[in-house]
Structure 1
Amino acid sequence: MKENTQSITMSELKTLIQCNLNALWSKDNYLADTPEKRASMIPPLMVWGAPGLGKSTVVREITEELKIGFIDVRLAQREPVDMRGLPVPENDRVKWLVSSEWPRDPKSRGIIMFDELTAADRTLQVASYEFILDRRLGDLYKVPPGWYILAAGNRVEDKAVACAMSSALANRFLHVEVRAEAESFLQWATSHNIHPAVINFIRYRPERLFCQEKENLQRGWPSPRSWERVSTMLKISDHCQQPSILNNALPGLIGEGTAAEFQSFLQNRFFMIGNCDIRERLLSGEPIQPPERIDMKYACCGAISYHISMEPDPDKLKMMLESCLKFALKLSGDFSMMLITDVMNNLKKTGDLKLLLTHPLYAEWRTKFQKGKNGNS
């Protein structure tokens, strides 16, 4: 980490970007009395971090949530003329043609992101100076004031393609360094339909969210990005009913060591307690007893939440919620709160939250845990 670089989580990064956007678009004029002046006052952001943390994903999701423009510039894949413009002879003079990708509408809003900036060589970095600092390309082009400029890149110590940033360019940025943090990842994963086995493994072993030290960095290793891909492979395996494909897929995504630990977790996990299918138990009303092992508790809670989130039939959903609440009343406080919170978040997305909140057992559950009592573990 650079000595003068603040380390923040992904959630904190998202908040910082949103605050800068609000300042850029503010009608209060507390920074300046014109949009152009505000745009020149707010420093562009440089986001440092290891590969696979989801730096560009956070930025893209902000633009999707706000329904604003997003231009992703991979500077290492460009030529200097892409930044400065292309000279075209015209009679006795030269006419410069500027790339059509840059926004022209003066009232438009969005984010221009120079991703993988540190992978660009010095020539390209120099070509980007004026755009990043002055928000312009000579007299040819000006960035509309509603657009925010930021960049992202890997550090030299990440063993990725990374060039040292020149001091002239570095001085133009507000620098932050993002770190992998389980709580931020779990919040994101819960709202993005990540497979419950991944969510509950990271809850159980948060230190395995991101780990480069013992893994082969030329192949797979654990990172937020690779865990998202693990989720995809789990869904494919579930749909094809071919769990054996995971034996080959997981080491290539998260490395052999983490894959072995995760597969051990899967063997105890989420659809089976003893020889009984969790979904069948939820629908039958037959009691589900909390497992004694902590990893299996995480797995069981994740399975229950997952099946509830995937149930389209309202009548079956009601039966599953009743079984879920009965199970939650038997759990200790932390696990019970985790389960019901996950279920509530999933039901909010489907518009079925009222089915839970109006259930008589929910009132009993709420009373029990509001008083700080613990259930049986």
Structure 2
Amino acid sequence: MTDLLSAADGLNRRAGARRTEPARSTQFEALALAVSANIPVLLWGEPGIGKSAGLVRLATGLGVPLETVIASVHEPSDFAGLPIIGDDPAATGVPMAPPDWAVRLATAGRGVVFFDELSSAPPAVQAALLRVVLERRVGSLALPEPVRVVAAANPPASAADGWHLSPPLANRFVHLRWTHEPSTVARGMAGTWPEPSMPVVDPGKAAAAVARARGAVSGFLTARPGLAHHLPEDAEGRGGAWPSPRTWEMALRLLATGYATGARPEAVAAAVVGAVGDGAGLELLAYLDELDLPDPNRVLADPSAFALPERGDRQLAFLTAVVSAVQDDPTRRRWEAGWDVLAKAVEAGVPDIAARAAGDLAALREPGWPVPSGIDGFVELLQLSGAL
């Protein structure tokens, strides 16, 4: 019998052998962007289409351990922690012991925890997972920052005993639709599977990327204030992606990560829409297509070479990005260059557009720095706001 099983095992190894080839995958790149930005991700897809396999590829590409937790078969105490009585509870309290997977990740100091079948977990378990996703705490154990959180769910119609996600839990994830390409499956059955590339943050682009993203999102929400928070009316919508201050912060980080990695626009678009929802996300993407902000660090290097945009929302986004870049590296030369840029708003007859940026820039002044000439057009506004 042993020989028969050995022969069968050899056949199974041959059938499972596979080659890989470089490929581009929008959904995988969007997942990698969100993981790089350290934002929890929720993959939505039918059973058996490769969500778990995608997580194995991600963890392998990052070189970190992967811990898979089937959320639907756990109790709330598995995430809140089990009480352990010590020698003197009145003096030390009762610690909440974490599960073994959390201890392994904390010991490794990095990794990916994958909560599978999230939509099959009852509301009480979802509530317990809130603290893990938001505070990164499991019982009395804090997960290290390099530990990333990813979950997967089947649509309620195809999930075993499926539940809609609670709005507080849903609003803490980037929601990505996970699908399959029949041609990819067919090629995989022939022995060759795609190996998507991982976007990598360029440290030299990080500061400009964050400044650019701040300007874009701030300018958009100034133009569309009604989209700052909108809770859908139906249960299915509340269990997905929708705009809130929390998810706009996610969108900002995703944009910055996309700019700093040079990720494809399609991947950035999928991630942003997965954070704030279809309506708000598509509006933001259309706004970004028209925005075309220059690199704020190049502007600060030579303020005279750039003209202020004509549209008010673009002006605000442009100036916000410039001031954010100064905040990142507040030297006297850059601070004075920032005032030269803001002076263009005075020259254009729209000092009110730059009033908020001027207040932020004035707050960066160090003792001993002289008052720049570009501040003249904002003196009255800054005095009214208390910045001077």
Give yes or no for TM over 0.5: no
Which TM bucket (shorter chain)? 0.3 to 0.5
Higher relative contact order (CA 8 A, sep 6+): 2
